[in-house]
């Protein structure tokens, strides 16, 4: 049998290729001691920037093709997610440059792993085949396990890495088993083929009721649910966020969550209408549970990193609302929400890094007392990020929530919207508590803060501009997300 | 032989793995149990692939084996680093992050 | 006119705010630079405003679709009633450009003045950041092409006003005054918000153009009562509640005199020239609605009563800034009379002249305070005219203008309003005339006591008496020119004046006032001069007595005890009721049980759920597996 070599259009793979070359360059340059380790950070930023630019370029050209025998999808959906991942990577790299300092010799692998994880995320979003999604997921996860335990000298960091690894591998096994079952029932691992096999004409096919298939689909939910930290698969998140280096906590809370949802949405938004109703029921229940548990536990937190961890769990719940709506609006609003969420969450973690003293980080919320007048810039950034997370207009967070809720109204999930609204109110309580602490409380002791590193301020200014711009001019981004979904439908 | 026997065997292996993860306290043993779960999935893949007469599933197994190997490498390194700090790899005793 | 011009106009003060706000720490050592940036930002807006004014004058306004920038929120079926769309855009017509020129013109001069006035203050950069932010918010208020943007600006100026009143937050009285302004304004804003909802329910839109078109065509959803008119009445009166709060009318005027705790240039810009006139602007903008609803009479009556009431209180005040504050309340009352009787152009004309002469007087008051080491009591002044010649001269111009001395700006605008009122409400005319007499009297009482007669200045202060630096007196001199002349330029000819021609496309046609213009002018002049003469007779060489001599005087001197009445009958009962009834019984029992209880409950639950997070990996795995099993059971077996 002659071997068929598929035609490959390399220009369509530019974003991924740029990331691969960048990580090779970083790998090589890391070997030269003469090169400042900060340069590696800048290389990462430049590489991700070029990949971002080429993703935007492809998106504007309206690319919609598959590569490698339909295993790999380059359409506006995957390109939009590329933009989310790359923006997150750039912001995290900007924040990291000053966080790690210049003397540390171990920075090469750090940026290398961030780039590898980014590549994994891009694979997940572009995967048209469960194998690709699995490989992307593992590439991303394995890099993140190492990054979480990156501070070898810190017991908390190693502990975070070990917990993340054990729980992550456990969830991956469920995910893999789910793929096996779906493969067994549907006879293929190609996602569009699986979905098309669910119906014959207007009727649902036998496959949509096959227990093997349904069990497999459920295990996929477990696998994705773990990666995006939805309740009850969320418990790794607070521990890992707290123990991991703060920059990595920011990274894990942003890109990988978006990547998990990228694959989640591709499969489920199209599949849910063709599955028995209780599949939607499971998603709705998980969404309610995730929002509520995340927000309620966040109220009881005193450590700001843990609070942000629980808040990010709650935000996964909001995205699930868009997923449960299972309509094009739900998909585009979930995409929009993920983008906004990534920017504001990295911003919030960035401010946590900004509030460093010579003794290390100040992670207790009470440490922020009185910062409103003593550190106006820091307090302003924090207030903006928290108001956006809480969903106040005219910030991006408001726009994101509005459209997610709207899509659920259209899908008649009224209870879900009511739950979402109540949860937004609960969440305002703990976000505003930090703001109140900053502006209304007097500090117990005067803390000597380190001077703000310029790259961090640049990163935060970019995030702040993004949040306000999307809040004031939402059509800028929403049109992109909507056209991305439209083209995915056609 | 019919497909379901293989699937039942793989499900049993998977369950044994899950139970192992639940009851053992040593991080390395837990890790081995997770490997067992992955291999249960591999068995299912091979059996289904053979049954369907397509090669996809068998290809999948190779990827999974590679991923599992990478996972082991990283996992052992992290466990060693935990051991350096605490002199134990008993997961019950590694619980400073909580709440 | 291109929207880009307006964007530059709008963004410039925002940039100024960001520079002073973000880089304040680096600018702190360099006051000139910080203040210069603040003033420059407004100067750019002023130049753009002039350019916009010229375009409008050449018949090229920015209205309707041309002003549309983008849709903020577009939503198919979010609200059952139909598509929900919020648009962002500009509406620049004659009314807008008049407001723009006032805001940026007076605003620029006050920024320049502040460079000198705030010299050496701790919060120098913070001050300019707030002031720029205020100008930005005020510009949004007047530039928006819909009520939502107006509301955003409305809240924005309120926030800046609150921040600037409490600018010296170490002073307890300043924070209290800020709080008072904040709370009183909330009442008004609530009315505005309800009015906005009513409009949205009635018209399905918040855009000016579509609301006014639909109102004229009569396609209105009936929200209240049986007729469209009833709906419009409710909407316009609710909006007017907002105006009462923001523009300090009866019964919500109480915050404005206290607002004088802020720096004096702030009083000039925010609490005299611009922000407090937002209510008048809003009614003039909604002229079509007020005409259809025929609620103008309410506006006019509230206005004239406020004018009289505040003028009476001003008679017995001895604090230079408070006299000016009550005078502002009183003059705002005149403006509401103007827009209330349908003479919108006259009301806005008075807004313009008032902005100049009242801004001028506040700045001169600041100059006096600057010379007198922040002394505010006019009984401790006297004979200042020799030491502060420029201040005295400019103050005199302002006082003559407000008193209605013939041919100065206030004379023309006030006369137009009174003349228009005569036809429909003769009684309002008469009250207005009495108020005009009182205005002339208290203003010149202030002048004579402060600048004439024997010096009562304490010797220690007297030795330091000095005229203000050029950066302060120059804006005074510049402001004095329009205060004197703008009426002659724009107002001659009553309803045929230049100003009326300029704004004729914006406002519904007012009916021509009857009677001889000259006769009305003559009456006004006589009244004004009589007030000045009476003040001369009483105060040319003596200070006001320290203690009021009879009951009536005592009542007036204590501002009719309104603050006390509010305190006794509203604030204390609410406090008391909340303390005994609500707090003791209801709150700690029921509300506590609900609100705090829920909050506490959530916290307790949160604390309990926290304990599930044991930190042990296997516990997490167990909960994962339990979750998987439960959901799988639900998923596979509950069909």
CB pairs under 8 A between A and C: 98
A161 to chain B: which residues are within 8 Å by CB? Answer: 78, 81-82
pLDDT confidence of residue C405? 79
- Of the spans A327-331, B58-62, C452-456, which averages the highest pLDDT? B58-62
A224 CA to centre of own chain: 12
The per-residue DSSP string of A361-407 comes to E--BGGGGTTHHHHSHHHHHHHHHHHHHHHT-TTSHHHHHHHHHHHH
pLDDT confidence of residue C594? 58
For A336-378, the pLDDT digits (tens) are: 899 999 999 999 999 998 888 777 777 788 888 877 767 777 8
Could you report how far apart the first and last alpha carbons of chain A are, in Å?
35
Establish if B21 touches chain C: CB-CB under 8 angstroms.
yes
Q: Point out the residue among A158, A179, A238 whose CB comes nearest to the CB of B78.
A: A158
Helix C94-117 and helix C31-57, axial crossing angle in degrees, nearest 10: 160
Residue B19 lies inside a defined structural domain of this protein: yes
Please give the structure tokens belonging to residue A24: 């090779």
Establish if C637 touches chain A: CB-CB under 8 angstroms.
no
b/e per residue, C76-91, with b = 16+ CB within 10 A? Answer: eebeeeeebbbbbbbb
In C, what residues contact B, Cβ < 8 A? 610-611, 613-618, 621-622, 625
* Radius of gyration (C-alpha) of chain C in whole angstroms: 27
What residues are paired with A66 via a beta bridge?
A73
Please give the structure tokens belonging to residue A327: 């309509």
Residue B70 lies inside a defined structural domain of this protein: yes
Percentage, residues of chain B above pLDDT 70: 99
Report long-range pairs for C552-556 (Cβ below 8 Å, ≥24 apart).
Answer: C553/C316, C556/C312, C556/C313, C556/C315, C556/C316
Establish if C626 touches chain A: CB-CB under 8 angstroms.
yes
Give mean pLDDT, residues C166-188: 77
**What integer best gives the mean pLDDT of chain C?**
82
For C429-438, the pLDDT digits (tens) are: 889 888 988 8
Helix (H, G, I), strand (E, B) or coil at C74: strand
The residue whose two tokens read 């209205």 is C63
Computed from CA positions of residues C195, C200, C203, C205, in that sequence, does the dihedral angle turn out positive or negative? positive
A189 in Cβ contact with B60 (< 8 Å): yes
b/e per residue, C203-213, with b = 16+ CB within 10 A? Answer: bbbbbbbbbbe
Task: Say how many residues make up chain C.
Answer: 639
pLDDT confidence of residue A486? 64
Are the Cβ atoms of C620 and A236 closer than 8 angstroms? Answer: yes
- Secondary element (H or E) of residue A164: helix A155-186
What confidence category does residue C77 fall into, taking pLDDT thresholds of 50, 70 and 90?
very low
Are the Cβ atoms of C618 and B22 closer than 8 angstroms? Answer: yes
pLDDT confidence of residue C512? 65
C332 CA to centre of own chain: 10
Nearest to A406 by CA among A471, A483, A336: A336
Q: Point out the residue among C599, C621, C631 whose CB comes nearest to the CB of A170.
A: C621
The per-residue DSSP string of C132-197 comes to HHHHHHHHHHHHBSBHHHHHHHHHHHHHHHHHHHTSSTTSHHHHHHHHHHHHHHHHHHHHHHHHHH
pLDDT confidence of residue B17? 95
C313 pLDDT higher than 70: yes
Residues 6+ apart with CB under 8 A from A36: A102
Are the Cβ atoms of C603 and A299 closer than 8 angstroms? Answer: yes
Residue B74 lies inside a defined structural domain of this protein: yes
Give dist(CA A277, CA A265) in Å, integer: 17
Q: Point out the residue among A131, A146, A162 whose CB comes nearest to the CB of B82.
A: A162
pLDDT confidence of residue C163? 80
pLDDT confidence of residue C345? 86
How many H-runs (helices) and E-runs (strands) does chain B carry? Answer: 3, 0
Are the Cβ atoms of C615 and A239 closer than 8 angstroms? Answer: yes
Angstrom CA distances, A170 to A249, A257, C370, C477, C622, stand at 21, 18, 75, 80, 11
Phi, psi of A147 (to 5 degrees): -65, -40
* Disruptive mutation site among B14, B21, B34, B79 for chain C (greatest number of C CBs within 10 Å): B21
Give dist(CA A489, CA A25) in Å, integer: 38
Give mean pLDDT, residues C379-408: 83
Residue B13 lies inside a defined structural domain of this protein: yes
Give dist(CA C291, CA C511) in Å, integer: 12
Phi, psi of C263 (to 5 degrees): -55, 145
More confident residue, B13 or C610: B13
**What integer best gives the mean pLDDT of chain B?**
91
Angstrom CA distances, A396 to A465, A472, B26, C72, C154, stand at 10, 8, 46, 12, 22
Residue B69 lies inside a defined structural domain of this protein: yes
Q: Cβ atoms within 10 A of the Cβ of C445, count?
A: 25
What helix, strand, coil percent values describe chain B, rounded to 5? Answer: 80, 0, 15
Could you tell me the CATH number of the domain that includes residue B26? 1.10.287.3510
B22 to chain C: which residues are within 8 Å by CB? Answer: 618, 621-622, 625
Angstrom CA distances, C485 to A5, A391, C220, C389, C410, stand at 88, 51, 45, 21, 10
For A405-440, the pLDDT digits (tens) are: 888 888 888 889 888 988 988 888 888 888 878 876
B99 to chain C: which residues are within 8 Å by CB? Answer: 610-611, 613, 615
Establish if C632 touches chain A: CB-CB under 8 angstroms.
yes
Q: What is the DSSP letter of B94?
A: -
**What integer best gives the mean pLDDT of chain A?**
87
Residues 108-147 of A with CB under 8 A from B: 131, 134-135, 138, 142, 145-146
pLDDT confidence of residue C79? 42
The residue whose two tokens read 């009285």 is C173
Nearest to A124 by CA among A137, A113, A115: A137
A91 in Cβ contact with A463 (< 8 Å): yes
Are the Cβ atoms of C618 and B25 closer than 8 angstroms? Answer: yes
pLDDT confidence of residue C78? 42
Question: Which residue range forms the structural domain that includes residue B47?
Answer: 3-86
What confidence category does residue A16 fall into, taking pLDDT thresholds of 50, 70 and 90?
very high
Give mean pLDDT, residues A212-216: 89
pLDDT confidence of residue C576? 62
Are the Cβ atoms of A159 and B44 closer than 8 angstroms? Answer: no
In B, what residues contact A, Cβ < 8 A? 3, 7, 10, 14, 17, 21, 27, 30-31, 34, 37-38, 40-41, 44-45, 48, 51-52, 54, 56-57, 59-60, 63-64, 67, 70-71, 74-75, 77-79, 81-82, 84-86, 91, 94, 96-99
Computed from CA positions of residues C368, C374, C379, C384, in that sequence, does the dihedral angle turn out positive or negative? negative
Q: What is the total count of domains within chain B?
A: 1
Percentage, residues of chain C above pLDDT 90: 11
Please give the structure tokens belonging to residue A122: 């891009």
A242 to chain B: which residues are within 8 Å by CB? Answer: 97
Phi, psi of A373 (to 5 degrees): -100, -25
For A368-412, the pLDDT digits (tens) are: 887 776 777 788 899 999 999 998 878 899 888 988 888 888 888
Give mean pLDDT, residues A199-223: 86
Give dist(CA C434, CA C440) in Å, integer: 10
C585 pLDDT higher than 60: no
What residues are paired with A73 via a beta bridge?
A66
Computed from CA positions of residues C480, C485, C490, C493, in that sequence, does the dihedral angle turn out positive or negative? positive
Angstrom CA distances, C413 to A190, C307, C355, stand at 79, 15, 12
Establish if A181 touches chain B: CB-CB under 8 angstroms.
yes
Are the Cβ atoms of C625 and B92 closer than 8 angstroms? Answer: no
B1: distance to nearest CA of chain A, Å?
16
pLDDT confidence of residue C595? 55
Residue B56 lies inside a defined structural domain of this protein: yes
C237 pLDDT higher than 80: yes
Are the Cβ atoms of A179 and B27 closer than 8 angstroms? Answer: no
C589 pLDDT higher than 60: no
pLDDT confidence of residue C574? 61
A141: distance to nearest CA of chain B, Å?
9
Report long-range pairs for A426-430 (Cβ below 8 Å, ≥24 apart).
Answer: A426/A295, A426/A296, A426/A299, A426/C602, A427/A295, A427/A298, A427/A311, A427/A314, A427/A389, A427/A390, A427/A391, A428/A390, A428/A391, A428/A392, A429/A299, A429/C599, A430/A295, A430/A298, A430/A299, A430/A301, A430/A307, A430/A311
* pTM attached to this predicted model: 0.76
- Of the spans A129-133, C5-9, C151-155, C502-506, which averages the highest pLDDT? A129-133
For C515-541, the pLDDT digits (tens) are: 677 788 888 888 888 888 888 888 777
Give mean pLDDT, residues C275-279: 90
C582 pLDDT higher than 70: no
C611 to chain B: which residues are within 8 Å by CB? Answer: 99
Are the Cβ atoms of B74 and A173 closer than 8 angstroms? Answer: no
pLDDT confidence of residue C381? 79
Percentage, residues of chain A above pLDDT 70: 94
C449 in Cβ contact with C544 (< 8 Å): yes
A465 pLDDT higher than 80: yes
How many H-runs (helices) and E-runs (strands) does chain C carry? Answer: 28, 2
Give dist(CA C158, CA C245) in Å, integer: 10
Percentage, residues of chain A above pLDDT 90: 47
The residue whose two tokens read 């591999």 is B42
A244 pLDDT higher than 80: yes
Phi, psi of C90 (to 5 degrees): -110, 150
Residue B92 lies inside a defined structural domain of this protein: no
- Indicate left, alpha or beta for C114 from its phi (over 0: left) and psi (-120 to 50: alpha): alpha
For B58-94, the pLDDT digits (tens) are: 989 999 999 999 999 999 999 999 999 988 889 888 8
Please state whether beta strands A203-204 and A199-200 pair in parallel, antiparallel, or not at all (unpaired).
antiparallel
Could you report how far apart the first and last alpha carbons of chain C are, in Å?
65
Please give the structure tokens belonging to residue C446: 């202030």
A398 CA to centre of own chain: 18
Q: Point out the residue among B18, B22, B98 whose CB comes nearest to the CB of C614.
A: B98
C381 in Cβ contact with C369 (< 8 Å): no
C392 pLDDT higher than 90: no
Q: Is the ipTM of this complex over 0.90?
A: yes
pLDDT confidence of residue C513? 64
C81 pLDDT higher than 50: no
Q: What is the DSSP letter of C72?
A: E
More confident residue, C4 or C41: C41
Q: Cβ atoms within 10 A of the Cβ of C496, count?
A: 10
C227 pLDDT higher than 90: no
More confident residue, A103 or C334: C334
- Of the spans A60-74, C23-37, C154-168, C237-251, which averages the highest pLDDT? C237-251
A56: distance to nearest CA of chain C, Å?
23
Computed from CA positions of residues A331, A334, A340, A345, in that sequence, does the dihedral angle turn out positive or negative? negative
């Amino acid at each position: 049998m002659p071997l068929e070599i598929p035609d490959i259009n390399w220009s369509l793979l530019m974003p991924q290729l740029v990331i691969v070359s960048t990580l090779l360059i970083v790998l090589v340059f890391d070997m030269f001691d003469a090169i400042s380790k900060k340069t590696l950070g800048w290389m990462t930023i430049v590489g991700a920037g070029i990949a971002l630019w080429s993703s935007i370029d492809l998106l504007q050209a309206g690319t919609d093709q598959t590569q490698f025998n339909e295993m790999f999808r380059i359409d506006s959906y995957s390109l939009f997610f590329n933009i989310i991942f790359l923006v997150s990577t750039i912001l995290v790299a900007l924040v990291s440059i000053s966080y790690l300092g210049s003397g540390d010799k171990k920075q090469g692998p750090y940026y290398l792993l961030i780039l590898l994880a980014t590549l994994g995320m891009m694979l997940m979003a572009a995967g048209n085949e469960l194998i690709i999604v699995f490989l992307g997921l593992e590439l991303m996860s394995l890099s993140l396990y190492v990054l979480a335990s990156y501070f070898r000298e810190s017991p908390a960091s190693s502990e975070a890495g070990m917990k993340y690894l054990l729980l992550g591998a456990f969830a991956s096994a469920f995910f893999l088993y789910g793929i096996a079952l779906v493969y067994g029932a549907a006879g293929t691992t190609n996602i569009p083929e699986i979905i098309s096999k669910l119906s014959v004409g207007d009727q649902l096919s036998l496959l949509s009721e096959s227990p093997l298939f349904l069990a497999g689909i459920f295990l996929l939910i477990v696998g994705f649910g773990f990666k995006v930290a939805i309740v009850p698969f969320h418990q790794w998140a607070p521990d890992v966020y707290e123990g991991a280096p703060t920059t990595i906590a920011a990274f894990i809370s942003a890109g990988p969550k978006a990547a998990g949802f990228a694959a989640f949405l591709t499969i489920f938004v199209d599949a849910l209408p063709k599955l028995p109703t209780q599949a939607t029921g499971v998603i709705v229940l998980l969404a309610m549970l995730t929002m509520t548990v995340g927000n309620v536990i966040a109220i009881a937190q005193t450590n700001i990193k843990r609070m942000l961890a629980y808040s990010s769990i709650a935000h996964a719940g909001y995205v699930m609302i868009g997923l449960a709506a299972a309509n094009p609006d739900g998909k585009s609003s979930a995409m929009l929400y993920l983008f906004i969420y990534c920017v504001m969450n990295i911003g919030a973690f960035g401010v946590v890094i900004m509030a460093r003293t010579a003794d290390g980080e100040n992670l207790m919320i009470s440490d922020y007392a009185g910062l409103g007048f003593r550190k106006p810039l820091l307090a302003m950034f924090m207030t903006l990020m928290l108001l956006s997370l809480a969903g106040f207009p005219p910030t991006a967070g408001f726009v994101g929530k509005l459209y997610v809720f709207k899509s659920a109204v259209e899908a008649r999930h009224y209870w879900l919207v009511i739950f979402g609204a109540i949860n937004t109110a609960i969440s305002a309580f703990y976000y505003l508590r930090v703001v109140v602490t900053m502006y209304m409380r007097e500090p117990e002791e005067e803390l000597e803060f380190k001077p703000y590193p310029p790259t961090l301020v640049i990163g935060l200014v970019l995030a702040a501009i993004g949040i306000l711009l999307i809040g004031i001019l939402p059509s800028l981004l929403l049109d992109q997300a909507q056209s991305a979904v439209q083209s995915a439908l056609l | 032989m019919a497909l379901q026997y293989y699937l039942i065997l793989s499900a049993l292996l998977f369950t044994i793995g899950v139970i192992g993860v639940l009851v053992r306290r040593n991080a390395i043993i837990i890790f081995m149990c997770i490997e067992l779960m992955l291999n249960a999935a591999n068995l299912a893949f091979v059996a289904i692939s053979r049954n369907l007469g397509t090669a996809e599933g068998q290809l999948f197994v190779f990827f999974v084996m590679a991923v599992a190997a990478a996972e082991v490498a990283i996992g052992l390194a992290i466990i060693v680093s935990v051991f350096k700090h605490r002199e134990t790899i008993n997961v019950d005793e590694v619980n400073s992050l909580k709440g | 006119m291109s929207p880009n011009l307006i964007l530059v106009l709008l963004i410039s003060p925002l940039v100024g705010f960001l520079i002073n706000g973000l880089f304040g720490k680096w600018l702190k050592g360099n006051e000139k630079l910080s203040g210069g940036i603040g003033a420059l930002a407004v100067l750019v807006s002023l130049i753009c405003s002039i350019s916009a004014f010229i375009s409008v004058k050449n018949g090229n306004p920015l209205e309707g679709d041309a002003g549309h920038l983008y849709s903020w929120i577009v939503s198919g079926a979010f609200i059952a009633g139909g598509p929900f769309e919020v648009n962002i855009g500009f509406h620049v017509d004659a009314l807008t450009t008049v407001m723009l020129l006032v805001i940026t013109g007076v605003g620029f001069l006050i920024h320049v003045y502040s460079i000198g006035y705030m010299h050496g203050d701790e919060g120098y950069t913070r001050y300019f950041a707030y002031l720029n932010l205020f100008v930005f918010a005020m510009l949004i208020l007047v530039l928006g092409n819909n009520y939502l943007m107006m509301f955003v600006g409305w809240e924005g100026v309120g926030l800046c006003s609150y921040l600037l009143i409490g600018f010296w937050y170490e002073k307890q009285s300043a924070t209290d005054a800020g709080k008072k302004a904040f709370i009183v304004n909330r009442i008004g804003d609530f009315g505005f918000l309800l009015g906005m909802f009513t409009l949205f329910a009635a018209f399905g839109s918040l855009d000016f153009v579509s609301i006014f078109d639909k109102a004229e065509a009569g396609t209105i959803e009936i929200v209240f009562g049986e007729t469209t008119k009833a709906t419009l009445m409710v909407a316009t009166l609710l909006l007017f509640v907002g105006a009462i709060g923001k523009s300090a009318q009866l019964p919500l005027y109480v915050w404005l005199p206290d607002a004088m705790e802020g720096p004096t240039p702030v009083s000039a810009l925010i609490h005299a020239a611009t922000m407090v006139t937002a209510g008048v602007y809003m009614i003039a903008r909604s002229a079509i609605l007020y005409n259809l609803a025929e609620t103008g009479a309410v506006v006019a009556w509230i206005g004239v009563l406020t004018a009289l009431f505040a003028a009476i209180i001003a008679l017995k005040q001895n604090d230079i800034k408070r006299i000016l504050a009550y005078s502002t309340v009183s003059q705002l009352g005149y403006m509401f009379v103007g827009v209330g009787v349908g003479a919108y152009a006259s009301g806005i004309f008075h807004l313009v002249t008032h902005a100049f002469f009242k801004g001028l007087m506040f700045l001169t008051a600041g100059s006096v305070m600057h010379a007198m080491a922040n002394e505010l009591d006019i009984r401790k002044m006297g004979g200042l005219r020799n030491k502060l010649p420029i201040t005295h001269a400019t103050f005199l111009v302002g006082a003559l203008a407000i008193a209605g001395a013939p041919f100065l700006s206030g004379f023309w605008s006030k006369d137009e309003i009174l003349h228009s009122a005569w036809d429909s409400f003769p009684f309002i005319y008469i009250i207005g005339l009495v108020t005009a007499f009182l205005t002339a009297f208290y203003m010149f009482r202030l002048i004579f006591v402060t600048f004439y007669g024997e010096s009562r200045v304490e010797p220690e202060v007297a030795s330091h008496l000095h005229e203000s630096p050029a950066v302060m007196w120059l804006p005074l001199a510049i402001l004095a020119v329009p205060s004197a002349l703008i009426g002659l330029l724009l107002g001659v000819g009553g309803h045929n004046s230049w100003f009326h021609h300029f704004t004729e496309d914006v406002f519904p046609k007012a009916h021509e006032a009857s009677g001889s213009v000259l006769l009305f002018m003559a009456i006004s002049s006589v009244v004004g001069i009589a007030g000045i003469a009476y003040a001369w007779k009483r105060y040319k060489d003596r200070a006001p007595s320290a203690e009021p001599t009879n009951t009536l005087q005592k009542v007036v001197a204590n501002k009719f005890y309104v603050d006390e009445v509010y305190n006794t009958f509203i604030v204390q009962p609410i406090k008391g009721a909340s303390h005994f009834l609500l707090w003791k019984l209801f709150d700690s029992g029921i509300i506590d049980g609900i609100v705090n209880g829920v909050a506490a409950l959530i916290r307790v639950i949160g604390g309990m759920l926290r304990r599930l997070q044991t930190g042990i990996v296997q516990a997490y795995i167990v909960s994962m597996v339990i979750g998987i099993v439960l959901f799988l059971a639900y998923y596979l077996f509950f069909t």
